[in-house]
Amino acid sequence: MFHKEGNTIILVTFIITIASFLLVDYTINIPWLRITLMVAIAALLIIVLQFFRNPKRHTVLNENQVLSPVDGKVVVIEEVFEKEFFKDKRLQVSVFMSPINVHVTRYPISGDVVFSKYHPGKYLVAWHPKASEENERTTVVVENKTYGPVLYRQIAGALAKRIVNYAKPKDNAVQGKDSGFIKFGSRVDLYLPLDTKINVELNQKVRGGESIIAEVNG
């Protein structure tokens, strides 16, 4: 199953792949070179297909838990001052996605979308300390009855050239459902209440819509 954001790119890649196969077959007479080129062309198609894959996830809805919005590795767990929406201290948990990870963004918690804003910006590497404030990004806040407001931020990386965000104010967010997509390498930050119980560790691998990032303490 592939994400709809990849439909055009996948179609174009298929056409280019078929045309390239035919061109190589008709013009290259050296067997080893013909095979090498065909393998390289097929590898390119496989890379594109795996990037836009959208695997089904088994989300267990829970008002007391915040799930990972994306697949990747936890690279930040720290107390920070969130400047854009809360304007106070929060616990930040950041998940880095490499180009081989699934790049679907999912709602980390259910509730009402109360804030959604796009910011143009730079394309620093996603793990750069200033990426949260200077890179192209979108900020979304979901208000949950149990948890209160939870903010997540999609951040473009050095390779990511397009952030797709479906969340709009007054939308009803359903935990684990598709809320966007980031094309080619990126990061997502979560900003949580200071008394949140964090359930992950640095460098831990997580799965979007399934891994429990945090839960209400007590």
Question: What residues does 187 pair with on adjacent strands?
Answer: 96, 155
- Beta carbons within 10 angstroms of residue 24's beta carbon: 17
Set 68, 110, 116, 186: catalytic member: 186
Cα separation, 68 vs 94, in Å, equals 10
- 49 φ/ψ angles, rounded to the nearest 5 degrees: -65, -40
CA distance 133 to 155: 9
The alpha helices in 52-176, defined as continuous H runs, are 131-134
* Cβ–Cβ < 8 Å for 169, 124: no
Whether residue 110 lies in the annotated active site: no
Tell me which residues are annotated as active site.
186
